[in-house]
Amino acid sequence: MLIIANAVGLFQLVALPMTFISFVFEGYILYPLAYVALMPDYMCVRDGLHFHCPNEQTCTSKYNQHSDGLIDGYYVNYSNQTSLINWVEPLGLRCAPDWQIGFLGASYFIGNVLGSTTLSKYGDTMGRIKLLRIGFICSVLLYALLIYSMQNIALTYLILFLLGYLSCIRLNFSFIYGSEIIKTTHSTIICSFYNFFDGFTMIQASLYFKYISKDWFYLYWYFLGIQIFGMFLSFMMPESPRYLISIGDFRRARYSFDFIAKMNGRKPLDPIIERFVEELEYKSQKLLPQFGGTNKNQENNEDNDMSTVSSKSDFWSLFSIKMYVINIIMMNVAWSASSFTYYMVGFYIKYIPGDIFQNVIISSLSEALACLISGFIALVIGTKNTLLLCFLIGGVFGLALAFLDQEYEHLILICLLLSKFGVSSSLSLCFLVTSEYFPIIYSATVFGACNIIARVISIFSPLIAEINPPLPMIIFGIFCFMSVLGTSFLSKDKKAGAAIDEALMNASPLNRGTGNTGRNVDQ
């Protein structure tokens, strides 16, 4: 029935942007750290002589005082485009060790690991939309506090930790909810837009700092305003109908479908004529034992039967099926590699020769286009093969970036573009492959399980980015090639995902079925 309620109507045009906003919140928090922790161009003054000096030199006894240009000390050369009004001075990062700067990102990932461990399971028990609303409210309040508490580094670490703790709600559940309100065959393209919009976060930040203002404060207020808008949209949305059907709550699923149909200008589902296949099967399973019948599902081989998995009560039942055990292990490898390499190159980019704003804009454009292009490629060769190809591209050009001499700026830029293309596509595809290769009833928990390992590994990405080259990009390449091997072992139940599609399409203004009695909505 997602065919009856889906295609693209007014509901999808409102609900999907809400999920996009929730998804890119992580970018609003994490990606600008490359700018707000960027060291400005320092000038040292000694006996009336002005000269450029690194931040470490300003911390020595000779220069460790702010100078007006007349007395000995240091000052910031704001005529340099990379000298921003950011977090360096308020948080005392000028004389801080590298690990303390890197820990701004690491504290977020530590929170994300704990959040994925404790919160992800609630998406499969409390539902999607309720947790999305909670995530929006708490994150908006914390983000506002972050803006107004920029004097204490310990408090900043705590806020970033808490925002990371809520990340699995904002990131995973927004993606899951968005993929569950559209037809399965459309999900490859629609889901590509999540990381497409995510890639524009740093483009906006780069254009802001390059052409509008050097002050970080107003940029963060702009990001906060977008999130407040998304928060209000979330209160207009019903629960995911796919999720409700997967837990057997057919009354609320019918309400969600009716809400979607009404918003899309279609008639509500007829409760007598238009029935869910899952609802009919559920009732038949309850009636058969009363008449001495046998439940056929119980006779099937449980090694590969999706319906058997869905009927069990908890996530751990997946481990009784060899296919899902292999998938979970391989997806953890893929998630860890894509997450680590994606964030590491984001933190490392400030050390790549050339105009930092130009590098970031080109890198982010590459990322945004990669997410769209990979979606179309996946339609042709499949998500698994596309994921494998993207890891291969990222690994080859990441290693090339490690060993290129700094004088070859154009080649460095090309390698940066292609390596970012590879890892951005792989991260985007990991979301899609996870939702495609596991049962809906456990999708939020599987996302959380993959996130736990991935974020533990990603904790080290901002720290490794501070190591002297070429080691960071060598590690980058190793992670990519490791995932090429892991991705090849993925397999799936080809019957999964077809059961609800017709219901969404029928609520679409583009297609309305005639409705036959006892119709099988799987077709």
- pLDDT category at 235 given cuts 50, 70, 90 is very high
For the chain, give the mean pLDDT.
79
Out of 253-267, 321-335, 357-371, 380-394, least confident range: 357-371
**Contact predicate 387/330, CB 8 Å:** no
The pLDDT value given to residue 144: 95
Higher pLDDT, 523 or 375: 375
pLDDT band at residue 18 using 50, 70 and 90 as cut-offs: very high
Structure-token pair, residue 269:
């589902």
20 or 3, which is more confident? 20
Any idea which of 73-77, 238-242, 308-312, 352-356 has the lowest mean pLDDT?
A: 308-312
Average pLDDT over residues 190-201: 78
pLDDT at residue number 275: 54
Categorize the per-residue pLDDT at 302 as very low, low, confident or very high, splitting at 50, 70 and 90: very low
DSSP state string for 426-464: HHHHHHHHHHHHS-GGGHHHHHHHHHHHHHHHHTTHHHH
Q: Which of 210-224, 238-252, 277-291, 353-367 has the lowest mean pLDDT?
A: 277-291
pLDDT of 331 over the 80 cut? yes
Is pLDDT larger for residue 508 or for residue 434? 434
Q: What is the DSSP string of 373-435?
A: HHHHHHHHH-HHHHHHHHHHHHHHHHHHHHHS-TT-HHHHHHHHHHHHHHHHHHHHHHHHHHH
- Write down the pLDDT at residue 314: 59
Residue 187 has phi, psi (to 5 degrees) of -65, -35
Question: How much is the average pLDDT of 2-31?
Answer: 79
pLDDT at 142: 95
Residue 279 pLDDT > 70: no
> What pLDDT is attached to residue 309?
42
From the list 22, 243, 223, the residue with the least C-alpha distance to 135 is 22
Of 458 and 43, the one with more pLDDT: 43
Of 297-306, 308-317, 488-497, 506-515, which gets the smallest average pLDDT? 297-306
Q: Which helix (H) or strand (E) holds 244?
A: helix 241-246
Q: Give kind and range of the element (H or E) at residue 2.
A: helix 2-5
Q: What is the pLDDT of residues 149-177, one digit of tens each?
A: 888 899 999 999 999 999 888 888 888 88
List, as one string, the DSSP characters of 183-242. -HHHHHHHHHHHHHHHHHHHHHHHHIIIII-SBHHHHHHHHHHHHHHHHHHHTTPPPPHH
**Residue 287 confidence (pLDDT) above 50:** no
Domains of the chain, each with CATH number or no CATH:
2-35+97-240+317-487 (1.20.1250.20), 42-76 (no CATH)
DSSP codes of every residue in 287-306: HGGGGT---HHHHS-TTT-H
Closest CA to 37 of 205, 271, 211: 205
Please state, for a pLDDT cut of 70, what percent of the chain lies above it: 81
- Quick one: average pLDDT of 368-396? 85
Q: For 85-104, what is the mean pLDDT?
A: 89
Q: What is the pLDDT of residue 299?
A: 42
- Tell whether the model's pLDDT for residue 86 goes beyond 80: yes
Q: Token pair for residue 461?
A: 């990405």
Whole-model pTM over 0.95: no
Q: DSSP class of residue 66?
A: B
- Residues with Cβ within 8 Å of 517's Cβ and at least 6 positions away in sequence, in order, are 273
